[in-house]
A and B are shown apart, each in its own frame.
Chain A
Amino acid sequence: MAKVLMKGNEALAEAAIQAGCRHYFGYPITPQNEVTAYMAKRMPEVGGVFLQAESEVSAINMVYGAGGAGARVMTSTSSPGLSLMQEGISYLAGAQVPCVIVNIMRGGPGLGDIQGAQGDYFQSTKGGGHGDYRLIVLAPSTIQEMADLVQEAFDIADEYRNPVVILGDGMLGQMMEPVDFENIQKRKRDIPEKTWATTGRGNREHRNIINSLYIDPPVLEKYNYQLFEKYAKAEKNEVRYEMINCEDADVILVAYGTIARVAKNVMNIARREGYKVGLIRPISLWPFPKEPFEKTVNTAKAYLTVEMSMGQMVEDVKLAVQFKKPVYFYGRPGGMIPEPSVMLEQIRKIAGGVK
């Protein structure tokens, strides 16, 4: 099969099916409805289960059930829907249930609007639900990368027994690009067998139980430490990022997802004007890539973070730069796209006329 032309949302759904996902639970919300619509059509063709729940609360708990029974399971939603799912997500992380959760972000807070935005960075990377837990958060910036990362996400979820979030925005969900499903890029992994899954007792000595309740504090403390050993492993092995033109860069743009594509074009324009500009594009938002900042902090003059929000990832950028160099920010909320001309103006100002 040659390349096909797909919407981001359709590609997400197809990639999940091709990754062996046979259970999808969701509730419609713009701008990710094509995922649900595609799953409704495709799941019966591959003998899978598609179920439109009565709410996001219900959908995420169905994910808990299917994931607990060892199935490759996915749900998808957009910002307000993800807020509703937070309790369930904390339970999933607490009970170590692997699953893939897609958030095609829109403008907020509250009901907001239906345009693409990036205001859910904190919610996804810092724990939108209660308790000490981490989600592995992957942020694609093309439709191809979206398809690649969805396949990877199922493997990561199974390897770490943890929910993995695909964080995109409405623009990525709605736009169309060529996709090649035959050459999906993903790592080779040792995925352990799901001996913990609740598939019936069979010949096992003990029943498998999927649970996040540990009423004895020392026991719960120990369990938390175990979870954090797992997160430490993820921090070591699951960092992803792209670096472009950073070797000689004075000003380094930092952006993820949709707006990284605008930033890349801005970088090229600035280069043509003679400014030495680079780009760091975090792909894993958690674990956040510190490496590209360690590599550049001694040579770069400053960083400029651009987001479709009032500034969320910029805090992680500052932590990674450790105040050794200035970190500037430019962003727009409400589903508005930061202006390339403003980015250029800021680059010129930060570079201080030094070309």
Chain B
Amino acid sequence: MDFKRLTIVVGHYGTGKTEVAINYAKFIRESGKEVEIVDLDIVNPYFRSREVRKELFDKWGIRVAGVEEKYMNADVPAISRNIYGALYSKDKYAVFDVGGDDVGATPLGQYRHIIKDQDAEVLFVVNVNRPLTKNVESVIEYLKSIEEAAKIKVTHLVNNTHLSYETTVEDILKGQKVVEEVSKITGIPIKMVTVKRELLNKVPDLGYPIFPIDLYMKTPWDKM
């Protein structure tokens, strides 16, 4: 699977953008590139990529930009200027973990003049088990509102349909049906289908790259 220097991950609130962003950054890192995650999520108070910044850096040398350490848990919609390093770099790769919905995608709009000349990949993450994006119409509605708020065009769709620890292959297939239909209507190609690592062997060939996902956003009892 190919990738661009800048990857921007957007989608409806709670579809799993952060897990996709972290795993995607790891995938880029494993291909030998230097990569950073830019945490642009200013709408979600918990479960953000910044929370695992130490683990990401210690294990793979992936830095998390976008927030300064001492303001990590501040309830303020602020983005650190340290994200400009990723935006303007010539050789360093970056994955932008954007906040949910149009509201969460709004901060991205201010960088559009920098992003537009850079041939970035914009991934729209879909989980049809989220009640507000359960069908083709609602997915397209969210896609359009996010494009408008972020002032950026989605280049690829990602089927990230899951049901947390109860995910089955049926969930993935159900999501795939919707995402394929969205792709047909909008003309936006499907980049990949994400699959929890333990389900990898059970998923049939779908004609799209299968992207294994390891989970990083954990509850205190999951961490035990």
Contacts and interface: CB of A to CB of B under 8 A. Distances in A.
Interface of A: 3-7, 10, 14, 30-31, 33, 113-116, 170-171, 174-178, 258-259, 261-262, 264-266, 269, 337, 340
A192 B73 CA distance: 46
Contacts of B165: 178
A220 to B, nearest CB: 42
A10 B159 CA distance: 22
Given A114-B45, A114-B73, A115-B73, A171 B130 contact: no
The secondary structure that dominates the B interface is loop
B84 interface: no
A3 B163 contact: yes
A197 to B, nearest CB: 32
A192 to B, nearest CB: 34
Interface in B127-156: 127, 129-131, 134
A114 B77 CA distance: 14
B75 A114 contact: yes
Report the 3 A-B pairs with minimum CB-CB distance, sorted nearest first.
Answer: A174-B46, A261-B221, A337-B220
Given A116-B46, A265-B221, 5 more contacts: A6-B130, A114-B45, A175-B219, A178-B163, A261-B221
B168 to A, nearest CB: 11
Given A31-B46, A261-B219, A340 B14 contact: no
A176 B164 contact: yes
Interface of B: 14, 44-47, 73, 75, 127, 129-131, 134, 162-166, 219-221, 224
A24 to B, nearest CB: 18
A14 B132 CA distance: 12
A6 B224 CA distance: 23
Nearest to A11: B131
Contacts of A5: 14, 127, 129-130, 162-164
25 contacts: A3-B129, A4-B131, A5-B130, A5-B163, A6-B131, A7-B14, A14-B131, A31-B45, A115-B46, A115-B73, A116-B46, A171-B46, A174-B46, A175-B47, A175-B219, A176-B14, A176-B164, A178-B129, A178-B163, A178-B165, A259-B220, A262-B221, A262-B224, A265-B224, A340-B224
